[in-house]
Structure 1
């Protein structure tokens, strides 16, 4: 007679090893390897074994063990084994798309909400033109527009974005929908964005820098160096499984079968010399592109839950950052009003300008320095071009004040 598989033995042995290693400290990697082996073993058994494993995970995660990272990873396998595709965490919802990529849930925006946003952008456009600058709004699509959500999730990312572009055009606001540039970039659609994060990959940001320069040139005669927009003139260093994005951090590494994302650092093969000022952080320094554009403390070590490698580009999110190109440039002074999608754009754009002033007016408590009025900043400076790079579109009350260009508080 065939003996019944006793799942409790596996659960007991696994968690005994887990707690023992945890208590005595130094073998986290071994524990993770043990965990992965146990997961594979359990998946090959019957449903009783899987359920027993899940119950064991639930029991341990409710106890006060200080092994956050590992417990998150174990819990993520529970989600994967039970095909749980939607998780409510804190004040957000994370869903696993049909592709395995992690996405958010985007609520529908009303016509009046869209009008409120576009009215603010129109005000900025008028201010820019009154100052003598050329204005252009770059609308970056969000990841949710390219993914199929679970059947029990309704997301309005594509509908909102289409309506937003229509509103901008109706108001005759100079705008560029970057979807066409993405489709023409030569990058496969599944590689536009990270799997565990909402941002686009550095290679996508690099390609969009080229699209921005070409659009500015097409509309306004913006001079740029095309050679510096060719990826073959750069070294792309790949760090395998180095980055767990913001959505992955909320649900655990193995909520998606692919696990953590690879991370790329893109470095020019040609000579560069830049000067960076970050007024609110008392930073003033000169150096080559790699020294100025990359804050490598964010990615020097692999730490899925403790580090944010995406912030290595441009240092993440600063209230104000000024980059001056001290080698050959086009003599143009550009103001870039941005959200975090510009982290992987502004370093490469800085090599196409004399001065690139980068402003992030989102109302985040982690930012150093008081939030200031973009209108006042325009009055104090003479810019040749004023551009905005924002991803998707957000309702005013949940936009972290990113559309309040004329307000300081």
Structure 2
């Protein structure tokens, strides 16, 4: 009897497996046939290897498995029933308050001496062009003394890494603004300032950060910000709330039956604005022109119907289309304002979008997708202010490739 049960279970499993495979092939046959025909009929010179082609087909079939997201949601729900608090080998963990976090195992802060010395050299190069350089330390979602994990969950020491780096910046004489400190002074906490399902701060928090940045620059760094009191008043902005419309990157990793979609707001000016925006990533270029809501916001992302699990539906990237390699914003209403450069990751994107009102030209560079030389951008851009800004988790050499081979400089100094 036991043998029969095992046999029946095995047969049922394989029938289900092969049945799903047949459905998958049937659903994607036209695309597969077109791809196969195109591959073997194309010029063999420059053709990708058969191994790479098979890998590409495999990735395509996996991404288009019928009921893929239903299975994914079911898996997440089972993990929830099992009270599991980690996913993907502890890459994503759930805190005691239900928020999700990116983390990893480590024993202490990352070494930041190399990136600190590179920042120092960038500031020196910028000074020769007449630009002031500031490092903007955006906060990590993990808040010491507030965020708590179950025993055994890894801690990434991101805040300790940030503290160490800022201390080195001070030693090098590089000016900094620490948004973590500003949040503490206003009794703001990450539980309210960040999305539960994502590593980004909320759009409301980004707007607050924009107002703080504008005020500090004007009071301490001689920045002439146009109509600052009016531009930093939230009452002069529209706010649209999209309820249960946002599932962040960590939420997409665990499924919406493990966590829950949450609200996301879109904030844009009530007053008149007029911008020209140029964006480039690789060979892809795009331009937009008009008021803030037409030029700064990507409505195809905000209103897209690709589904909550599609990266193209990440509504945080409604602002400035997320992370193009380079983008330039021309403010037609402030032609005599300062020219600024943000060397950045995604956390600062909505902040920069709001901040562009106070500049004549705003340039954003994301070194992950920018194929040019950041050193050339600094040397040739004729900027008044250069802001380098990475969140604590991104304080790694990958994000600071600039000024790394300066002759006669010890990268381990500082």
Q: TM-score, normalised by structure 1?
A: 0.76
How far 1:232 sits from its partner (Å)? 1.1
Matched, 1:67 2:67: yes
Give aligned pairs, total. Answer: 336
| Contact residue 136 and residue 177 of structure 2 kept, 8 A | yes
| Contact residue 275 and residue 323 of structure 1 kept, 8 A | yes
Measure the CA separation in 1 of the matches of 2:65 and 2:274.
49
- Which residue does 1:77 correspond to in 2? 77
| Contact residue 294 and residue 313 of structure 1 kept, 8 A | yes
Matched, 1:253 2:250: no
How far 1:197 sits from its partner (Å)? 0.6
From 361, 365, 386, the equivalent of 1:359 is 365
Compute the RMSD of aligned alpha carbons.
2.6
Greater RCO, 1 or 2 (C-alpha within 8 Å, sep 6+): 2
CA deviation string 1:318-341 (max 9, x = no partner): 111010111146511111111011
Measure the CA separation in 2 of the matches of 1:185 and 1:73.
38
- Which residue does 2:354 correspond to in 1? 348
- Which residue does 1:28 correspond to in 2? none
Q: 1:284/1:128 Cα in 2 relative to 1: closer, same or farther (>3 Å)?
A: same
| Contact residue 323 and residue 356 of structure 1 kept, 8 A | yes
Helix, strand or coil for the counterpart of 1:323?
strand
- Which residue does 2:308 correspond to in 1? 304
Q: 1:109/1:318 Cα in 2 relative to 1: closer, same or farther (>3 Å)?
A: farther
Q: 1:219/1:402 Cα in 2 relative to 1: closer, same or farther (>3 Å)?
A: same
Matched, 1:168 2:165: no
Q: TM-score, normalised by structure 2?
A: 0.75
Q: 1:74/1:215 Cα in 2 relative to 1: closer, same or farther (>3 Å)?
A: same
From 314, 321, 334, the equivalent of 2:327 is 321
Q: Structure 2: give runs of 5+ residues left out of the alignment.
A: 1-18, 24-63, 406-414
Q: Structure 1: give runs of 5+ residues left out of the alignment.
A: 1-18, 24-63
How far 1:106 sits from its partner (Å)? 4.3
How far 1:107 sits from its partner (Å)? 4.8
Matched, 1:295 2:301: no
How far 1:99 sits from its partner (Å)? 1.0
| Contact residue 145 and residue 157 of structure 1 kept, 8 A | no
Measure the CA separation in 1 of the matches of 2:66 and 2:404.
43
CA deviation string 1:195-228 (max 9, x = no partner): 0010111111111111111222232111222211
Measure the CA separation in 2 of the matches of 1:287 and 1:404.
34
- Which residue does 2:94 correspond to in 1? 96
Helix, strand or coil for the counterpart of 2:343?
strand
| Contact residue 137 and residue 392 of structure 2 kept, 8 A | yes
